[in-house]
Amino acid sequence: MLEIRDLHIAYPKSASEAVRGVSFDLSHGRMAGLVGESGSGKTTIVTAVLGLLPEGSRGSGAILFEGRNLLALPEDELRRLRWKEIALVPQGAQNSFTPVKTIGSHIEEVLRVHLGVTGETARSRAAELLEQVELDARIVKRYPHELSGGQKQRAAIALALACEPRLLLADEPTTALDVITQAGVLKLLMRLKAERDLTVLLVTHDLPLAASVCDELLVMKDGELVERGAPRKLIHSPEQPYTRRLVEAIL
């Protein structure tokens, strides 16, 4: 479904590359974990997949989504894919809600802008989406500050699912949550993946957490993909010194 080939990305005005020669595949229906320390380039990859890098960024290689190279796609075609085919739960999603708008109106806006769905249909769809992420449908009427961190994270997932994407990019969806709430959000992602036939790229700096839910792990360091493999193999017999350090850090 997603094939990344020798991807290089440099931000504007930056002499060095944030992503250097990364290649990996993500097959339909799988959940891969992109792990690595802060600044290793995880968010940069996710942002590139959505075609949302800042103006003036330089990229080479290919990001193939079902055969089409997203790096070479014109903006209007990318816009057609965003939300409907590929959706993002952004890093810090909990803080990305507009404080003066209710949770319901955030979801309704996405439905209106991307699907042209309005009125009662949009309202009931918003309530339904909240129920799918195991939130009370009455939360549509609440403002972001009236939700807990875990509830906001679930609401952000509901928002990402609004247009029924096939590929979900979740950037640190459990960071800043307590362990019990983290487990709940991960279980939710796994359930949604199975029920909705989603393919998921889960970004996290938390190796054990990724290992507990992903089919495959991709380990990043300083913009490079240093190791990839099944969680069990990677944790029990890491090949690269960096992966070994990451594993040792959790023991």
Contacts with ligand ATP by CB under 6 A lie at 11, 14, 18, 36, 38-44, 54, 91, 205
| Cβ atoms < 10 Å from Cβ of 109 | 16
43 binds Mg ion (CB under 5 A): yes
Nearest to 58 by CA among 43, 49, 48: 48
44 binds Mg ion (CB under 5 A): no
Residue 202, beta-bridge partner list: 33, 170
Residue 9, beta-bridge partner list: 19, 59
Query: Which listed option, Mg ion, ligand ATP, none, makes contact with residue 143 (CB within 5 to 8 Å by class)?
Result: none
Q: Considering only the stretches 41-49, 100-108, 147-155, 206-214, report the one whose residues sit in contact with Mg ion under the rule CB under 5 A.
A: 41-49
Closer to ligand ATP by Cβ: residue 127 or 218: 218
Nearest to 187 by CA among 162, 154, 161: 154
Cα 4–Cα 8–Cα 14 angle in degrees, nearest 5: 150
40 binds Mg ion (CB under 5 A): no
To the nearest whole angstrom, how small is the minimum distance from the Cβ of residue 45 to ligand ATP?
A: 7
To the nearest whole angstrom, how small is the minimum distance from the Cβ of residue 246 to Mg ion?
A: 16
Nearest to 154 by CA among 138, 179, 136: 136
To the nearest whole angstrom, how small is the minimum distance from the Cβ of residue 175 to ligand ATP?
A: 8
Closer to ligand ATP by Cβ: residue 39 or 208: 39
Closer to Mg ion by Cβ: residue 42 or 166: 42
List, as own/partner pairs, every contact residues 77-82 make where C-beta atoms lie below 8 angstroms and the sequence separation is at least 24, other chains included. Answer: 78/50, 78/51, 82/50, 82/51
Query: Which listed option, ligand ATP, Mg ion, none, makes contact with residue 166 (CB within 5 to 8 Å by class)?
Result: none
Q: Considering only the stretches 86-94, 134-142, 187-195, 212-220, report the one whose residues sit in contact with Mg ion under the rule CB under 5 A.
A: 86-94
Burial 146-165, CB ≥16 within 10 A → b, else e: ebebbbbbbbbbbbbbbbeb
- Say how far apart CA 236 and CA 58 lie, in whole Å: 37
Q: Considering only the stretches 27-35, 39-47, 183-191, 224-232, report the one whose residues sit in contact with Mg ion under the rule CB under 5 A.
A: 39-47
Residues that bind Mg ion (CB under 5 A): 42-43, 91
